[in-house]
Chain A
């Protein structure tokens, strides 16, 4: 039918039995099909939106969200706009009165101390300032001077730094979490300054995370390539057995695998015992192979190996053995044939494996925290600390955002250099 329709383009219009032009009828049928298929995808789309995109967007938003200050100090913040934070004069009586009213209002629903915790992330001591002040402020009944009374309750209310902090954070959004995430803060005038050298930590850990992840990815290629080759070329019976050996650790709990590496690598562990027994290492100088970078690299390479082997294997499986034979028959040496024929054919597998391993490893935190000691911890360990320990979700979110942006940038770069169609997962 379609053929006829195409050929008879400028001849009489073909119609269906009920007189509708064939083309329109066909279009309608196609549209219905498309709508049905869209309908089928909708649940998945909604699911991804609700379970994946919204939470991530919400997390990203936390890194700049600062509405708590305006919310808890609705009377004080507008008045502070006219106060000169660069000068040396404290805010006037009116602002102190507004502050007392705001804090007393916040004491009723018991949420004002939340503000103290928020400010404490920027300046240590704010938490106790609020906790100590609230009860005393509640008892304050129409004093002669709110300013004098408030400062009497806690001397920090008479400190310019306290007011500068409140004014600086009076916006609905704040860059301060990102400042902290790149080891910085603000000076008295509100400009960004970097922390002293010996207090920088986040950027250092970012760099370390990336370098170690690259190293781990490299090791998984070196170890995974020959394994995958064996898996792809051995007779099915043998390769199935090997495959189980590769997958077995994959099915074992992450914690179990990590702990078994501790048993193997520790000072009184299996490997050290063996080395001492052979006589390679002196009993007093046992090797330190765990609670440092070596521990992290070894354990993570092992844990992430299947993510390299599986895509490599699936790609190698599809390369016909004839290719290599053809190259050999045309006079290439074994090595040259591998380099020119086999290796280029496996690039999509390497690419997929690298992306999987690298992205998984920069987000790892359980393994580095157990076996990494101090030199083998990753940035995710600090993100976990801020989410679970200090409850500074803003900073945790800022660090997470930076990590996410880095991965996305890398993804784009990968697309430019290697090309995304050159990835094959199976």
Chain B
């Protein structure tokens, strides 16, 4: 009797122990922007991946807005707990320079395109840093209230024209983008914008142009503000992320429209924090989540363009609204007729300097 009890007990211990091992999932901490953006990644990347790999559990952390600072603090403390971080391209360059994120061999860890094109060629020049795995192309572009004007604004010069298009403006509280737009609106050749901007006279010229609308501008710093102010009628034209504008127009049916002239292209993607506790697993995840189909899938849930060339033809309809997403993509040829691609090197050099000048000008 005693023996039987002992044996069952032992068996139970062994069973529960092995079951425990089987149940202990590998937890990958993925840091992103939260809100609709994380939801689109959850649906397009995380959920399908977890279905294929039941032993992986993906935990979302919504602190990407403070991502670089937090990662630096974690690395300083020697305790990196993140496995993957979503970062805008300029931050990915800074983090790579600081040695806080891993350099990646794109062709080795990422899946090739369905036709066999290696990943590095499929992403092309969007790989702006050896540490960066681009996922989406987003644009900062202009939204306006349809009820504010008889004839809608069509060019960047109209944004700066208070006579023809009276009313409040909203712009991001940053020199990036605003300087380039001001110069183009002032007649600078779009190909020479950065050349002009590198000189003190160019900066003065940009300020002079911005001065003409300064009193009508509400400066925004988080992505939700400009759309909120447009919807509330606080302003009539403003720069905003195209995904946010799409959401307000297509899902919330607000009386807004988009003006794509000289939309400002920027990139967002993944970086792997140095010291990530699951380097092998996260590379495996990236092979899946950054492949052609997955990037195209994300566009079903949010209006940002996939970073792979091979994904573009696969972009379909919005999953809930049933709207064809192609016309709403910043990468759509009609929208991208005039586009400004952020010069990362220029801004890595001058962001701090110009931001101080810009803020001094703003509070003046």
Quote the shortest CB–CB distance from A8 to chain B (angstroms). Answer: 62
Q: Does A113 contact B (CB under 8 A)?
A: yes
Query: In chain A, what residue has the closest Cβ to B351?
Result: A390
Do the beta carbons of B99 and A205 come within 8 Å of each other? no
Do the beta carbons of A110 and B103 come within 8 Å of each other? yes
Give the distance in Å from the alpha carbon of A369 to the alpha carbon of B219 in the complex.
10
Supply 10 A–B pairs (Cβ within 8 Å), ascending by A: A109-B99, A113-B96, A124-B354, A125-B350, A198-B360, A267-B234, A268-B232, A369-B221, A388-B65, A388-B68
Q: Does B17 contact A (CB under 8 A)?
A: no
Quote the shortest CB–CB distance from B179 to chain A (angstroms). Answer: 14
Task: Digitize A243-260: 1 where CB-to-B-CB distance is under 8 Å, 0 elsewhere.
Answer: 000000000000000000
Residues of A within 8 Å of B4, CB to CB, are: none
Other CB < 8 Å A-B pairs besides A124-B349, A375-B363, 16 of them?
A110-B103, A113-B96, A114-B98, A117-B94, A120-B349, A120-B352, A125-B350, A128-B348, A131-B348, A198-B360, A201-B356, A201-B363, A370-B225, A374-B362, A390-B355, A391-B94
Within 8 A of A (CB), among B320-360: 345, 348-357, 359-360
Q: Does A291 contact B (CB under 8 A)?
A: yes
Within 8 A of B (CB), among A102-156: 109-111, 113-114, 116-117, 120-121, 124-128, 131
Q: Does B51 contact A (CB under 8 A)?
A: no
Residues of B within 8 Å of A127, CB to CB, are: 97, 348-349
- Chain B, interface SS category: helix
Do the beta carbons of B349 and A125 come within 8 Å of each other? yes
Residues of B within 8 Å of A128, CB to CB, are: 345, 348-349
Residues of A within 8 Å of B350, CB to CB, are: 124-125
Q: Does B152 contact A (CB under 8 A)?
A: no
Task: Digitize A372-386: 1 where CB-to-B-CB distance is under 8 Å, 0 elsewhere.
Answer: 011101000010010
Q: Does B149 contact A (CB under 8 A)?
A: no
Do the beta carbons of B218 and A373 come within 8 Å of each other? yes
> Across chains A and B, which 9 residue pairs bring their CB atoms closest together, nearest first?
A113-B97, A201-B360, A124-B353, A388-B69, A268-B233, A124-B350, A125-B349, A374-B362, A128-B349
Do the beta carbons of B356 and A117 come within 8 Å of each other? no
Interface centre among A109, A111, A199 (most CB of B within 10 A): A199
Residues of A within 8 Å of B359, CB to CB, are: 201, 382
Q: Does B66 contact A (CB under 8 A)?
A: yes
Do the beta carbons of A204 and B363 come within 8 Å of each other? yes
Give the distance in Å from the alpha carbon of A391 to the alpha carbon of B94 in the complex.
9
Do the beta carbons of B349 and A198 come within 8 Å of each other? no
A126 with B98, Cβ < 8 A, contacts A201-B359, A267-B234, A374-B362 known: no
Query: In chain A, what residue has the closest Cβ to B219?
Result: A374
Task: Digitize A385-422: 1 where CB-to-B-CB distance is under 8 Å, 0 elsewhere.
Answer: 10111111100000000000000000000000000000
Q: Does B6 contact A (CB under 8 A)?
A: no
Do the beta carbons of B352 and A373 come within 8 Å of each other? no
Do the beta carbons of B234 and A390 come within 8 Å of each other? no
Residues of B within 8 Å of A116, CB to CB, are: 97
Quote the shortest CB–CB distance from A375 to chain B (angstroms). Answer: 7
Q: Does B364 contact A (CB under 8 A)?
A: yes
Quote the shortest CB–CB distance from A273 to chain B (angstroms). Answer: 11
Give the distance in Å from the alpha carbon of A199 to the alpha carbon of B99 in the complex.
32
Do the beta carbons of A117 and B66 come within 8 Å of each other? no
A114 with B363, Cβ < 8 A, contacts A127-B348, A128-B345 known: no
Do the beta carbons of A114 and B99 come within 8 Å of each other? yes
Give the distance in Å from the alpha carbon of A377 to the alpha carbon of B96 in the complex.
32
Do the beta carbons of B364 and A198 come within 8 Å of each other? yes
Q: Does A266 contact B (CB under 8 A)?
A: yes
Quote the shortest CB–CB distance from B356 to chain A (angstroms). Answer: 6
Give the distance in Å from the alpha carbon of A194 to the alpha carbon of B206 in the complex.
24
Q: Does A200 contact B (CB under 8 A)?
A: yes
Give the distance in Å from the alpha carbon of A393 to the alpha carbon of B352 in the complex.
12
Q: Does B309 contact A (CB under 8 A)?
A: no
Give the distance in Å from the alpha carbon of A225 to the alpha carbon of B234 in the complex.
35
Interface centre among B72, B97, B345 (most CB of A within 10 A): B97
Residues of B within 8 Å of A370, CB to CB, are: 225
Give the distance in Å from the alpha carbon of A111 to the alpha carbon of B219 in the complex.
36
| 8 Å CB contact of B360 from A125, A131, A199 | A199
Give the distance in Å from the alpha carbon of A120 to the alpha carbon of B353 in the complex.
9
Do the beta carbons of B357 and A121 come within 8 Å of each other? no
